[in-house]
Copies of this chain bind each other. A is one copy, B any other.
Amino acid sequence: MMSIFDQDLPQTSANYAAISPLSFIERSAQVYPQRLAVVHGSGPSALRYTWSELYRRCRQLASALSLDGIGKGDTVAVMLPNTPPMVEAHFGIPMVGAVLNTLNTRLDAETIAFMLDHGEAKVVIVDTEFAPVMRKALTLRKSTTFLNVINVTDTFYTGLNQPVGKLEYEDYIAGGDPEFDWELPDDEWSAIALNYTSGTTGNPKGVVYHHRGAATAAVSVILEWDLPKHPVFLWTLPMFHCNGWCFPWTIAARAGVNVCLRRVEAQAVFDAMRENGVTHYCGAPVVHAMLVDAPDAMKEGVASGIRAMVAGAAPPASMIEGMERMGFNLLHVYGLTEVYGPATVCAKQEAWSSLEIGERARLNARQGVSYHLERGIAVMDPATMKPVPADGETMGEIMFRGNMTMKGYLKNPKATQEALHGGWFHSGDLAVMDPDGYVRIKDRSKDIIISGGENISSIEVEDVLYRHPAVLAAAVVAQPDSQWGETPCAFIELKQNAKVSSEEIIAHCKKHLASFKAPKAVVFCELPKTSTGKIQKFELRKQANAIAS
């Protein structure tokens, strides 16, 4: 028998609305119309929009797209740095039901052409800095359908301006109605964004985000970070990466300030912090390290208490110390594109604050616990789908489930089913569960080194390498070995003026590790990094293979 609570109590538009981050900007524009929403550049020439102005610009963009016939399920690609049009793209495009596909600005023309084809983009919005690569990508496209190209000529871009097409962004949106009557999607499961993963092997996969998940992720970070109303957020994290961890929507939900930044350089960051009273920023470890290592004079006058979020790799003790010296407060989070960026947090416990720095760093370096609004995280044996014991030793794969997990991979049902099988998203990251319920990554599945049948965590070896005073950055990959199958090969970037031999490095490792885990080969070089600061291990693996053969 149907329960009395399921009778005559239907969903109507009075009591049910699609969950979407689009409602955030509408509300902020209504309640805080005069508050600053976006600032770009510095001094009197800076571009400034209030929430009311930004909302009108987003509606203009939506209206202009709509006039061009762009609507539900159409892809609009953008190749933009962290400038105002990039913020606007996060609202104006989904306002017509279209899907925002942010392109990594460091990609080559071939990859971009692949993404435009695979994502079936109908419009592309491109900053003139990337005109050359986009021009080439357009010639490489296989699709013959019309692709509308819109240029963004940014006042603060000092390089060569050679637009790709004839349409200029400001003219384009000027043709749109600032009071455009957009609507929430009928279904909150509708796609809002398409983010291609870096694709170290094979073609990139298109991760699809939906409105429900984007709003959940945007609110989640408010909870995890205790993010107050009206934060002043500096865009050190590229918005093309997991939609900037959903922060364009978070900042709208908080009626904060988006401080734009074309290029992440220490001087520009500290200038922006001083000038705008920045309260929050995010980035990969390399961003924070750059700030820590900057000369003291550059930091003068920067307010204490700035809050920073770090993901991509665990922050080493030296970084935590350096941040503390600057008076910055660091929170460590972890995630993947498939879970809308970070979805776990190394939630700080009161008792940790009295620990010495080394122990604190060790605890804070962990990937931690699930975000509050994600359903859960687990470390499981992927064969049995049973959680490993919380003993800090047994390795398993990190799995996620809940509303902050992607809809799936675009036009790739096989990969979607593999990634989501068993009711969990399989991250591919290997980890242990500590007794306190905090997850600690040991390695990517594909980064693990199997030497004589024994697993060697590349991260464990790297941690030891980082402790050597001459080492600035280090990465360890598997090298084919006729005797052992694989052996660890270390790639090391030295600090300025530092000198050390391969033998010394190997001896240092043997002092701190079981002998078989020490690298057999050491290469000194500048490490190849992705646009988000991650070391590109697949490049190093190629080198290691070349050396071995």
Q: Taking beta carbons and an 8 Å cutoff, which residues of A are in contact with B?
A: 3-17, 19, 23-24, 27, 30-32, 35, 72-74, 99, 120, 189-191, 194, 208, 213, 219, 222-223, 226, 228-229, 253, 347, 349-350, 369-370, 372-373, 375, 400-403, 405-408, 410-413, 416, 419-420, 422-425, 437
Contact B223 A15 (CB under 8 A): no
The CA-CA distance from A200 to B467 in the complex, in Å, is 73
Shortest beta-carbon distance from A101 to chain B in Å: 11
| Contact A420:B31 (CB < 8 A) given known A190-B5, A228-B226, A411-B7 | no
Instruction: Provide 21 A-B residue pairs closer than 8 Å at the C-beta atoms, listed in order of the A residue.
Output: A4-B120, A5-B191, A5-B407, A6-B73, A6-B190, A9-B208, A9-B407, A9-B410, A15-B403, A15-B425, A17-B375, A17-B401, A17-B402, A17-B403, A19-B403, A27-B372, A30-B437, A32-B347, A219-B219, A222-B222, A226-B229
Determine how many copies of this chain the complex contains.
2
Q: Which residues of B contact A370 (CB under 8 A)?
A: 27
Q: Which residues of B contact A406 (CB under 8 A)?
A: 15
Contact B219 A416 (CB under 8 A): no
Main secondary structure on A side of the interface with B: loop
Q: Which residues of B contact A253 (CB under 8 A)?
A: 223, 372
Contact B401 A15 (CB under 8 A): yes
Q: Which residues of B contact A3 (CB under 8 A)?
A: 72-74, 191
Shortest beta-carbon distance from A52 to chain B in Å: 11
Shortest beta-carbon distance from A286 to chain B in Å: 29
Residue in B closest to A226 when the chains form the complex, CB atoms: B228
Q: Which residues of B contact A74 (CB under 8 A)?
A: 3
Q: Which residues of B contact A408 (CB under 8 A)?
A: 8-10, 15
Shortest beta-carbon distance from A457 to chain B in Å: 25
**Residue in A4, A32, A194 with the greatest tally of chain B CB atoms within 10 Å:** A4
Contact B15 A405 (CB under 8 A): yes
Contact A403 B16 (CB under 8 A): yes
Shortest beta-carbon distance from A7 to chain B in Å: 7
Contact A420 B15 (CB under 8 A): yes
Q: Which residues of B contact A72 (CB under 8 A)?
A: 3
Contact A14 B424 (CB under 8 A): yes
The CA-CA distance from A191 to B8 in the complex, in Å, is 13
Q: Which residues of B contact A423 (CB under 8 A)?
A: 12-14
